[in-house]
Structure 1
Amino acid sequence: MAQQFNPKRVLRQISNPLLKDFFEQQGHPLDVEWDQLSNTQMDDVFDAWQRLPDADRKAIEIAFHDVHEMANEDGTRVIIEEGQYHGEDLSPLLEPMESRYDKALWTFMNRPAVWDAGVRFAKADTLWGGRSWVKRGNMPCADPKSDGEALREFQEAMSAFYRDRQGRGHHCKVEHFPRGGDLHYYFVYLSDYADTYINFDDAGHFQRTPERRAFEIVFAYDKDTCTLEMYAKGGKKVVEPLQRIFSRIILDEPLPAEEPGVHPYQLDGLMDRNFTFQTDPEDGIEQVTLRAMRLSILGRKRGRITLEPDPEDGRDRIYEMLEDDLNRRRLPKSILHVTKATINFKLNGNGHGRSLTFDVTYPNGCSLKSKREDQRLLGEKYLKRWEIDVA
């Protein structure tokens, strides 16, 4: 079991020359007789640290907290692995050091990129195996996106999901860190509910301070095995929508059905105004129109958005309605899920009649079953081609 953080114990575990260099690097050389101190005589160092301005003292305390968390076998392993990812074998440099605290603090001081990623991975590793850590196979196999635009879209979607579903998450920050050759971690930080905490101000006065702290979601995508592991509290009603958001934005693919034997229809692509209903001339289809669309908000059990314009208003009217509605409700498409679509084929009468209208419902419902055989086959052909039917 990990020991509780004790600042004096941390100071005693770090060699004096390294500790002296650390304070100097932070811009706060301490007025202590370093040469006269043994590693266990840290009262003078501690007192000098505590006399620093409040903000500087707290910043150093945070650094020591992280050093304490990394000063163990797993922390050292993560540092070495992350160094290898950055093209450097740190083992020869770390091995001669007196303690794991020295290894951790030296990395903090000298390899900031390795340290920054390593701290996050180590914290994620401590979450693994808990009730809120879940793994899912059958994910799309794709190169995960990590560019600024994708991360911003992911931030907006995560914020919108929690804002709509739980009334929190108004602010969001996403950070991407590759780990090894095929693992990609996405750390999502969202603003929590406001609360009041009892503390002391810089003058030592007792006070109640309102704060809005952050909570964390972790996504770990393995490109080699096409699996996604994630840490998120809330059970299936939260996890499944977040998997869907991740797949849609980061993998640029719809989330496939997890249960074997299910033949789902994927309708979310229909929200794109540029969705192409390509057909073959010999089938006599003059025009394909999306007549109606029903949407749900990911993670919300109740409430639907139904769009059904007048058929005489043209094929683009439904997208105008969609965009107007989303702007009014501040809902990005990435947190919406199309649960039903009504599609119309305008036919030239070449053996299939003049019109074919049918409904497709997520995950596996379609009214084509009730149509005559030739129309059913025609509709099924194009649902496959347009990748709406992904069975």
Structure 2
Amino acid sequence: MSRQFSIATMLRMVPNELLQEFFSVLGHADFDPDWEHLGQREFDPLLDYITDLPTSQAGEFDQELQAVYELSCQSGMTAIAEAAKLLDMAELPLQMPQEMSVHGRAMWTRLRHPKVFETAQLLHEIDHLSWWRKRNDLPSTTPNTSPEAIEALERAISSLLKDQGRGRLCTVETYTRDNVHYFFAYPDDYSETANQHDDNGNLVPIVINKTMQVVFAYHSKEGSMETYAKLPKRMKEGLEGCFSECILNWKLGEHVPGKTFEMNQLKDPHFHLVTDPQDRVTAELVKMRLAHKTNGRKVDLAVDRTIDGESIHKAIEQTIRTEASPLSQWNVIAVAIHFEFLPKAGRKPGRQTITVSFPNTCNVRSERSERVEIIQKYLKRWKIDCGRPTPAGSMAVGA
């Protein structure tokens, strides 16, 4: 079931002592619904107060409570713990009031440790972006994060989007996590018009100048980069060129996407997803999409994990008549791999299913941070992630 935000839910779930502090932080310290005698679930006076505020002030409550709500879950708690560790406050999770729900703990962090809260928001956002486009043909170097380089990237992204009537302004923020350098770009998107009640209760049209989101995740040791952007392939390639030239001082050549992910070896019935015992993880192919090399016909296969002895290779055998159409005539263009993480010190047990599609799309970057490294290890071990190719045609800018 998907989680649905509502102000009433947050007012109901967050302890009153934290709500009183929250109202004060937002500049409403004079509001007193008799906090001392207010019942823990008696939120109607608070909701009525917010509802009766001028639109701009009510909107501030809405935005702040939504931010707390986003971290009021297990993955949010994980993001807070990781943010605290990054800021040399590893003991912070133990300092949280243990009797509080995740809603109370998220609000407690927002009020007492705003920097941890802001960092956790960023980490949580990274972990929930999906379908990153990956390429491995970048140089292995230290990215330039100087103000001049960041400004150059902002200008380059704005220029790229200018012909589409967006990107007038662009802001880029940076962050480093687990040896991966993240660059968050927020160029202006298309403006939208909406109706809104002003502070006097009049319905008026307003212009909303939204930004779109672009994220570059550059791994300097591997010379690889993953890009997130809801844009066509041509525009993503343009963004990658902007990043490479402005941040890496490197002009990208023609990209050969087929070398990023390769999955044909997985159709071999003798191929097994072998893992190291010390990693305490198992893996199983649960879905596969095949495409015929000649006629382009596609076949989707899936495994019913509730049936003993089922496997993707048995599904291939039962579905494709190999005597008429040998497996050599089929390409694997997408797979889903189910990982099971067994109990291990420093890592919670759990299950994760990741998807990989030819030529360069994967959702690994959006999985929980403590699992990403181990998943990526095996994608390389099994030759799914092909590693870094020779960057033909690429060259240092100015060379």
Q: What TM-score, normalized to structure 2?
A: 0.61
Instruction: State whether residues 77 and 106 of structure 2, in contact with CA within 8 Å, keep that contact through their aligned partners in structure 1.
Output: yes
8 Å Cα contact 1:198/1:208 also seen in 2: yes
Matches within 5 A, 1:190-205: 190-205=187-202
| Structure 1 alignment gaps of length 5 or more | 263-362, 365-382
Equivalent residues of 2:14, 2:104 under 8 A apart: yes
* Residue in structure 1 matched with residue 71 of structure 2 by the alignment: 70
Using the TM superposition, give the Cα deviation of residue 161 of structure 1 relative to its aligned residue in structure 2, in angstroms.
Answer: 0.6
Q: Confirm or deny that 1:58 pairs with 2:59.
A: yes
Change (3 A) 1:21 1:203: same
Indicate the SS of the match to 1:102. Answer: helix
Answer whether contact 2:135 2:226 (CA < 8 A) is retained.
Answer: yes
Q: CA deviation at 1:194?
A: 2.3
1:210-262 Cα deviation digits (max 9, x unpaired):
33221111112223433212211223201111111111111222335542899
2:108 aligned partner: 106
TM-aligned CA deviation for residue 189 of structure 1: 1.0
Q: RCO (CA 8 Å, sep 6+): is it higher in 1 or 2?
A: 2
User: Aligned partners of 2:21 and 2:397: how far apart in 1?
Assistant: 63
Give the corresponding residue for 1:259: 256
Cα gap change, 1:2 to 1:385, in 2 (>3 Å): closer
Aligned to 1:178: 176
Task: Out of 14-23 and 87-96, give the one that drifted further.
Answer: 87-96
> How far is 1:120 from its partner?
2.5
- Secondary structure of 1:66's counterpart equals helix
Q: Give the aligned length.
A: 266
User: Which SS does the other structure have where 2:250 is aligned?
Assistant: coil
| Code of the aligned partner of 2:134 | K
Cα distance between partner residues in 2 of 1:10 and 1:179? 30
Counterparts of 1:1-391 in structure 2, within 5 Å, are 1-29=1-29, 30-89=31-90, 90-94=92-96, 96-129=98-131, 133-164=132-163, 166-180=164-178, 182-255=179-252, 257-259=254-256
Structure 2 distance, partners of 1:48, 1:54, is 12
Q: Structure 1 residues 186, 224: CA separation in 2 closer, same or farther (over 3 Å shift)?
A: same
Instruction: Give identity over the alignment, percent.
Output: 30
| 1:145 Cα deviation from its structure 2 partner | 2.3
| Structure 2 letter corresponding to 1:15 | P
**How much does 1:138 deviate?**
2.9
Tell me what 1:317 maps to. none
Q: Which amino acid aligns with 1:171?
A: L
C-alpha RMSD of matched pairs (Å): 2.8
* Structure 2 gap ranges (5+): 260-391
Q: In the alignment, residue 125 of structure 1 is paired with which amino acid?
A: D
How far off its partner does 1:7 sit? 0.3
Q: Structure 1 residues 56, 207: CA separation in 2 closer, same or farther (over 3 Å shift)?
A: closer
Q: 1:45 to 1:138 in 2, by over 3 A?
A: same
Query: Is contact 2:170–2:185 with CA below 8 Å preserved after alignment?
Result: yes
Could you tell me whether the CA contact under 8 Å between 2:194 and 2:206 is conserved in 1? yes
Q: State the Cα distance separating 1:63 from its structure 2 match.
A: 0.7
Distance 2:160 2:240 in 1: 12
Q: What's the CA shift for 1:44?
A: 0.8
CA 1:245–1:42: 2 relative to 1, 3 Å: same
TM-score by length of 1: 0.62
Q: Which residue identity does 2:106 align to in structure 1?
A: A
Equivalent-residue separation in structure 2 for 1:385 and 1:256 (angstroms): 11
Aligned with 1:202: secondary structure? coil
The whole-number CA distance in structure 1 between the counterparts of 2:223 and 2:139 is 6
SS state at 1:199 partner: strand
Q: Distance in 2 between matches of 1:87 and 1:255?
A: 38
Shift of 1:26: 2.3
Counterparts in 2 of 1:21 and 1:97: CA distance versus 1, 3 Å: farther
Checking the alignment, whether the CA contact within 8 Å between 1:49 and 1:57 is kept in structure 2 is yes
How far, CA to CA, are the matches of 1:123 and 1:385 in structure 2? Answer: 32
Q: Secondary structure at the match of 1:127?
A: coil
Deviations 1:280-316 (A, max 9, x none): xxxxxxxxxxxxxxxxxxxxxxxxxxxxxxxxxxxxx
Residues 25-57 of structure 1: per-residue CA shift (max 9 Å, x gap)? 222122111222222210011122333444332
Tell me how far 1:117 sits from its aligned partner.
Answer: 2.6
Q: Is the 8 A contact 1:174 1:186 kept in 2?
A: yes
3-state SS, counterpart of residue 10 of structure 2? helix
Checking the alignment, whether the CA contact within 8 Å between 2:215 and 2:228 is kept in structure 1 is yes
Partner SS for 2:251: coil
Aligned to 2:311: none
